[in-house]
Chain A
Amino acid sequence: DAGVTQSPTHLIKTRGQQVTLRCSPKSGHDTVSWYQQALGQGPQFIFQYYEEEERQRGNFPDRFSGHQFPNYSSELNVNALLLGDSALYLCASSLGSSGGYTDTQYFGPGTRLTVL
């Protein structure tokens, strides 16, 4: 059973650059959520994609954007990188049709982004 996969594992960028992170959901899942986790903090919700549409969005600026493809994989794009964007970026997949409070999310290994 293929779990959630993310690429790349690590990434180093400089301020002002743009970055794209990728995620493939767990087999059978159709919903992808993205989180940012700063050191010593819990994950913070960025947005969620279902049926190729952004279904929900957290309190993140428009510099953060995403996309979901027909095969349910997803990308997270961050423009005009700031030092404060350095974090672990986590992708979580779930079965969107279950919806509601029973929606159980499983995390990928994450991408560690360092902005210099």
Chain B
Amino acid sequence: QKEVEQNSGPLSVPEGAIASLNCTYSDRGSQSFFWYRQYSGKSPELIMFIYSNGDKEDGRFTAQLNKASQYVSLLIRDSQPSDSATYLCAVKAGRRALTFGSGTRLQVQP
């Protein structure tokens, strides 16, 4: 079992819709959770981080964390074609290094 699992996609949504990206993790000691966006050929760009159970909103982005279910998600409201990218989920426990999933490719159709 991989430490951080993501559906590779592609996840295809129409422009203006809500995109829902999911991530599960195996280490119950994980304390912080990050979402990075990576355009093709570019480096990861930090979108959001979340530490506590519940929802955290930042503009069109909402991160949701459920530690009991070991599940973290990212919602993108009013999806735009410019949101088309690979979204990487990463988790961290204490001072340990970030552990990344393989990413979910999102396609927003105009």
Please list the residues of chain A having a beta carbon within 8 angstroms of any beta carbon in chain B. Answer: 33, 40-45, 48, 55-56, 58, 88, 90, 92, 99-110
Contacts and interface: CB of A to CB of B under 8 A. Distances in A.
Contact count band on B? 20 to 34
A41 B92 CA distance: 18
Given A42-B102, A42-B103, A48-B97, A103 B92 contact: yes
B82 interface: no
B104 to A, nearest CB: 11
Interface of B: 4, 31-32, 34, 36, 42-46, 49, 51, 88, 90, 92-103
B51 A102 contact: yes
Given A45-B98, A45-B99, A102-B51, A107 B92 contact: no
Contact of A56 (B34, B51, B97): B97
